Amino acid sequence: MPGDCEELPPADFYDFEALLSVPERAKLAQLREFLAAEVAPFAADWWNAAEFPAHILPALACLELSSPALQGYSHLFAGFVVAEMTRVDTSLATFFLVHHDLFVQSLQEFGSAEQKSRLLADAMALRITGAFALTEPEHGSDVAGGMTTTATRIRGTGGSADSWLINGAKRWIGNGTFCDYMLLWAKDTDTGQVRGFILDAQLPGVTRTKIEHKIALRTVQNAHILLDNVTIAEADRFAGVDGFADTNQLLLGSRVMVAWQAVGQQLAAFDVARGYAVERQQFGRPLARFQLIQQQLVQMLGNATASLAMMVRIAGLRDAAEAGGSSGAKMEQVALAKAFTTARMRETVAMGRAVLGGNGIITDYGMAKIFADAEAIYTYEGSQEINTLITGRAITGVSAIV
């Protein structure tokens, strides 16, 4: 039996990566080299200490991977980028998603010409960092209708410009403790419509508190945000947002990327479990020689492969839409992908944890971190249950969501 997993078939068992263009495969290889050198050796220490490695951001920026689809890369490549980041460190991938696929993407889609000129280049180059402030302490899945953070328009006098007075609270805001700006969502007290704002995180009245004692994504700096009579200039309102419905395409894209994270998490679990099974000796032979261990590894690989295949098809629908060949991926299709891949992920990481036995509950061996981080992926960007009900509504015509 081989003693080196590099001699064994890859976790991408059907070679979906071959669908990428030659330049995309070269770029993906560059990302892997960066992750292997700058992230993999240190990720467990960052996770254990619950500290974010801000020092690596300049090198990450040099890869020029901000919003890949907006730079001419395929949606399939963008998905593989997130999966590969997640495969090495879910927390870094989550930072990348929040900053690039939510904050930068929002600037691209909803920002005015002046806002883009002022912020976009610096955001894409990670000279400034962003967050996406939507979820509230009492509102997650129902935040669109239940949002309590308010924005009251203050009319300018004597030729001065209008401004907005913001009050409320946000919670679970990734990058929230250190970001320069947040894309903040609040309800207009005059119209009841949800508005988007570019919030300078240093403004008076903004209080940011790190959320402690997490068991998942410990490297991600999630914050509880209090907003007490914060004044935001009209120039920092997203003029392209007239209501919450305008964000649907943006949220669809971020949900797709979290489903890609579920793929990366499974690939990581398979990598670690197979490597351990090949090397670990029990009863005088490698664990990999035991039938039940092989059964678990095959099930893990099957789950990961099925999830990857689903995401390749979602990417294909999105790429075809941009080429004018289809209507693109629908929200219910993306919801099914997120629900399915995260359910398979939960099963996969649990099997991987079991393969490592007692060593599977300490971060020294890699699997404990993978196992714990999976719980966050299972829940955020629409919980597994909510995404199931979105798909259920589509296939029955009846909503089970109040």
For 340-353, what is the HEC assignment?
HHHHHHHHHHHHHH
pLDDT digits (tens, 9 = 90+) for 329-341: 899 999 999 999 9
Residue 210 lies inside a defined structural domain of this protein: yes
The answer to whether 176 and 221 have CB atoms below 8 angstroms apart is yes
Predicted pLDDT of residue 1: 43
DSSP state at residue 19: G
10 Å Cβ neighbour count for 163? 18
Contact partners, residue 277, CB within 8 Å, separation at least 6: 286, 287, 288, 293, 297, 355
Residue 304 lies inside a defined structural domain of this protein: no
**Cα–Cα distance, 120 to 109 (Å, whole number):** 11
Q: What percent of the chain has pLDDT over 90?
A: 84
pLDDT over 70 (residue 5): no
Q: What is the dihedral of CA 242, 248, 251, 256, to 10 degrees?
A: -160
pLDDT digits (tens, 9 = 90+) for 203-213: 999 999 999 99
Residue 183 lies inside a defined structural domain of this protein: yes
Residue 196 lies inside a defined structural domain of this protein: yes
Domain enclosing residue 197, as ranges: 130-242
pLDDT digits (tens, 9 = 90+) for 177-194: 999 999 999 999 999 999
Predicted pLDDT of residue 2: 46
Predicted pLDDT of residue 6: 53
**Cα–Cα distance, 378 to 315 (Å, whole number):** 20
What's the rounded mean pLDDT across residues 272-282? Answer: 95
Residue 56 lies inside a defined structural domain of this protein: no
pLDDT digits (tens, 9 = 90+) for 254-271: 999 999 999 999 999 999
User: Rounded to a whole number, what is the distance in angstroms from the first to the last CA of the chain?
Assistant: 56
User: Strand 163-173 vs strand 223-233: parallel, antiparallel, or unpaired?
Assistant: antiparallel
pLDDT-based confidence at residue 300 (cuts at 50, 70, 90): very high
pLDDT over 80 (residue 247): no
Residue 155 belongs to domain with CATH number: 2.40.110.10
> Cα 210 vs. chain centroid, distance in angstroms?
19
Residue 396 lies inside a defined structural domain of this protein: no
Q: b/e string for 350-361 if b means 16 or more Cβ within 10 A?
A: bbbbebbeeebe
The answer to whether 73 and 24 have CB atoms below 8 angstroms apart is yes
Residue 38 lies inside a defined structural domain of this protein: no
> Cα 119 vs. chain centroid, distance in angstroms?
22
Residue 147 lies inside a defined structural domain of this protein: yes
Q: Which residues pair with 149 in a beta bridge?
A: none
**Cα–Cα distance, 346 to 320 (Å, whole number):** 31
**Cα–Cα distance, 192 to 197 (Å, whole number):** 15
Contact partners, residue 230, CB within 8 Å, separation at least 6: 165, 166, 167, 199, 203, 204, 205, 206
pLDDT over 80 (residue 4): no
**Cα–Cα distance, 301 to 164 (Å, whole number):** 52
Predicted pLDDT of residue 215: 96
The answer to whether 368 and 362 have CB atoms below 8 angstroms apart is yes
Helix segments in 130-247, DSSP class H: 143-146
As for how many domains the chain has, the answer is 1
Mean pLDDT of the chain: 93
pLDDT digits (tens, 9 = 90+) for 127-160: 999 999 999 999 878 877 789 999 999 998 877 8
Q: What is the pTM of this model?
A: 0.94
